[in-house]
Structure 1
Amino acid sequence: MSQRDTLVHLFAGGCGGTVGAILTCPLEVLKTRLQSSTITLYVSGVHLSAVNGASVARVAPPGPLHCLKLILEKEGPRSLFRGLGPNLVGVAPSRAIYFAVYSTSKEKLNGVLEPDSKQVHIASAGMAGFTATTATNPIWLVKTRLQLDTRKRGEQRMSALECVRRVYQADGLRGFYRGMSASYAGISETVIHFVIYESIKRRILEYKAPQSLDEEENRSKYASDFAGMMLAAATSKTCATSITYPHEVIRTRLREEGTKYKSFFQTLRTVPREEGYRALYRGLTTHLVRQIPNTAITMCTYEVVVYLMKG
């Protein structure tokens, strides 16, 4: 792969990630709140029941719509865009690094393994995910902390710089890498996603390749191809996310301020024991509603930019 091709993939990946992040930010905030251990603070009423003669508070976490309503009432619409700054700072380099490493790795591995095989896609996606996660974890930690900041209307919001200072004062440099173990576990989601995506994409291209079309029909074909890429991205991401979702909840818990969660496996044991196994899938619906269009937008923007820049 030439240097120009690498730059094209860097730029296209950055554009795709940025567009997707802006359009789906409110759903990202809502998902993070639902995953958090502090979500019960949003419940306005406490239902009491008697257990062995003692009153025990049983607080059921709110659903997505209830949570959204409470955020709007208590914090205002601007809270739905909390963490957008770090998200925009991080998403472009993160996706750019990811797509550049993925494309470069695939190019090199095609010369060693069977070209465009599942092994190539798995290894490439794994290397890309590991590199991007390691490089950008501090940015995502700050983003998560800002999204979990629940100060009411009129109160001074925590800024990104204040968040950075608090993390450093509490845990030092190590604090910026909290949740990275869960992010590494999440590489499996990326691997599954790209294997399915590449398979669907290849089938679409194989189906349309034999067709001989004139110039006008070609323009229609390109539009159809991009629509097919969006469908492929959405389908593959849905499958991957549903399989690997618990790592998302664990990562959010590890990134909470002053959290009792210390490691990936400790959190994996603690959450089901205290809240039941359903807690590991809290926010899944919101995550899918956000992730499907986000991934489709990201992948489609990436493919469009690559196509336009390569002519």
Structure 2
Amino acid sequence: MIGDISPPVASIPVVEGNAQAMNSKTLLPPLSTVASHFGTSGLSVALATGVTHPLDVLKVRLQMQHVGQRGPLIGMTGIFLQLMKQEGPRSLYLGLTPALTRSVLYGGLRLGLYEPTKVCFDWAFESTNVLVKIASGAFAGAVATALTNPVEVVKVRLQMNPNAVPIAEVRELVSKEGIGALWKGVGPAMARAAALTASQLATYDETKRILVKRTSLEEGFHLHLCSSVVAGVASTLITAPIDMIKTRLMLQQDSGSVRIYRNGFHCGYKVIRKEGPLALYKGGFAIFARLGPQTMITFILCEKLRSLAGLHKM
């Protein structure tokens, strides 16, 4: 299961008269192992992102419907047909470059930090129960997002503007709104990533453990598929509202004192008040249609790549 990178008990020497002292040389894995660990994670997320990116574009367009007002919503099929008619097939791949860039960095950090974090919690609390897994996932997701938020901001801006160029968009954003604009929505983004990673990885990890213990499934494709499906459903239900708020904040145009939303909580309050509670799930089906397959592809690929790289199974 996830967390197999922990060292054997024999690697922690006992010194008479003192508490156990950890040998740092045996606790830290070789650099090649670390590189393989983060590399397989980043590559699996990037490949999954490339396959599901059109659904991410549709999700963003759905979330930006009727900002600040109630009204009949266009469904995912309607948005798709609208995009095809007005902007062409290429519009489904708007923001792909920053999306893939972020996937390699964010995916590598998010999945790559989960196991070391869980091992640290195991050493600290002598436990690897589900709460430790949730806390480890939340920490890994939040840190990964805080570091890669600027790329996410550029991605969603490009997804709403078919004529934008990545570098030009960054220059315009920074010149008009300052360098801090690259961290727009970082609070909700970190909350979403923490919730996503905690629900996704902890659910996958725990589901694998339960299925191996209570069913005839063994380590392999079918176990990975079943566990990733459960993880995809759980993470979608938990993160859809936070994802919508994050998108609204990242696309908010700051000009002087004109700001629709002051922060994530204010955004959520205004959305519920003016657009109704269900507005928090705008684009929810698109999120599930994207996050479900992405979760399955990510975990199945990651398990295979880790096997090829000689790493332990997740």
Task: Specify the alignment match of 2:201 in structure 1.
Answer: 194
Give the C-alpha shift of residue 257 in structure 1.
Answer: 4.3
Asked if 2 retains the 8 angstrom alpha-carbon contact of 1:233 and 1:296, the reply is: yes
List, as ranges, runs of 4+ consecutive aligned residues in structure 1 with deviation greater than 4 Å. Answer: 37-40
Tell me whether 1:205 sits opposite 2:215 in the alignment.
no
Give runs of aligned pairs for residues 145-294 of structure 1, distance below 5 A: 145-149=157-161, 151=162, 157-186=163-192, 187-206=194-213, 225-258=220-253, 260-294=260-294
Tell me whether 1:131 sits opposite 2:126 in the alignment.
no
Unaligned stretches of 5+ residues in structure 1: 41-56, 152-156, 212-220
Which secondary structure does the structure 1 equivalent of 2:143 belong to?
A: helix
Give runs of aligned pairs for residues 105-144 of structure 1, distance below 5 A: 105-144=117-156
Tell me whether 1:34 sits opposite 2:62 in the alignment.
yes
Give the C-alpha shift of residue 201 in structure 1.
Answer: 1.0
Output the CA distance in 1 between the equivalents of 2:73 and 2:44: 34
Output the CA distance in 2 between the equivalents of 1:79 and 1:167: 21
With normalisation by structure 2, the TM-score equals 0.82
Amino acid at match of 1:239: A
**Aligned residues between the structures:** 277
Residues 66 and 256 of structure 1: CA distance in aligned 2, closer, same or farther (over 3 Å): same
Amino acid at match of 2:196: E
Task: Specify the alignment match of 1:8 in structure 2.
Answer: 36
Task: Specify the alignment match of 1:63 in structure 2.
Answer: 75
Task: Specify the alignment match of 2:306 in structure 1.
Answer: 306
Give the C-alpha shift of residue 206 in structure 1.
Answer: 3.5
Identity %: 28
Task: Specify the alignment match of 1:104 in structure 2.
Answer: 116
Asked if 1 retains the 8 angstrom alpha-carbon contact of 2:207 and 2:230, the reply is: no
Asked if 1 retains the 8 angstrom alpha-carbon contact of 2:102 and 2:148, the reply is: yes
Which secondary structure does the structure 2 equivalent of 1:62 belong to?
A: coil
Amino acid at match of 2:141: G
Question: What are the superposed Cα offsets for residues 55-106 of structure 1, whole Å, 9 maximum, x if unpaired?
Answer: xx98422111011000000000000000100011110111111122111112
Give the C-alpha shift of residue 35 in structure 1.
Answer: 0.6
Asked if 2 retains the 8 angstrom alpha-carbon contact of 1:35 and 1:253, the reply is: yes
Task: Specify the alignment match of 2:8 in structure 1.
Answer: none
Give the C-alpha shift of residue 107 in structure 1.
Answer: 2.1
Task: Specify the alignment match of 2:16 in structure 1.
Answer: none
Task: Specify the alignment match of 1:20 in structure 2.
Answer: 48
The alignment yields a C-alpha RMSD, in angstroms, of: 2.2
Which secondary structure does the structure 1 equivalent of 2:125 belong to?
A: coil
Asked if 1 retains the 8 angstrom alpha-carbon contact of 2:70 and 2:275, the reply is: no
Output the CA distance in 2 between the equivalents of 1:93 and 1:202: 28
Which secondary structure does the structure 2 equivalent of 1:24 belong to?
A: helix
With normalisation by structure 1, the TM-score equals 0.83
Amino acid at match of 1:98: R
Tell me whether 1:73 sits opposite 2:80 in the alignment.
no
Give the C-alpha shift of residue 145 in structure 1.
Answer: 0.4
Residues 167 and 228 of structure 1: CA distance in aligned 2, closer, same or farther (over 3 Å): same
Unaligned stretches of 5+ residues in structure 2: 6-28, 254-258
Output the CA distance in 2 between the equivalents of 1:99 and 1:166: 33
Output the CA distance in 2 between the equivalents of 1:5 and 1:105: 16
Output the CA distance in 2 between the equivalents of 1:72 and 1:140: 24
Output the CA distance in 1 between the equivalents of 2:305 and 2:116: 17
Amino acid at match of 2:245: I
Residues 205 and 58 of structure 1: CA distance in aligned 2, closer, same or farther (over 3 Å): closer
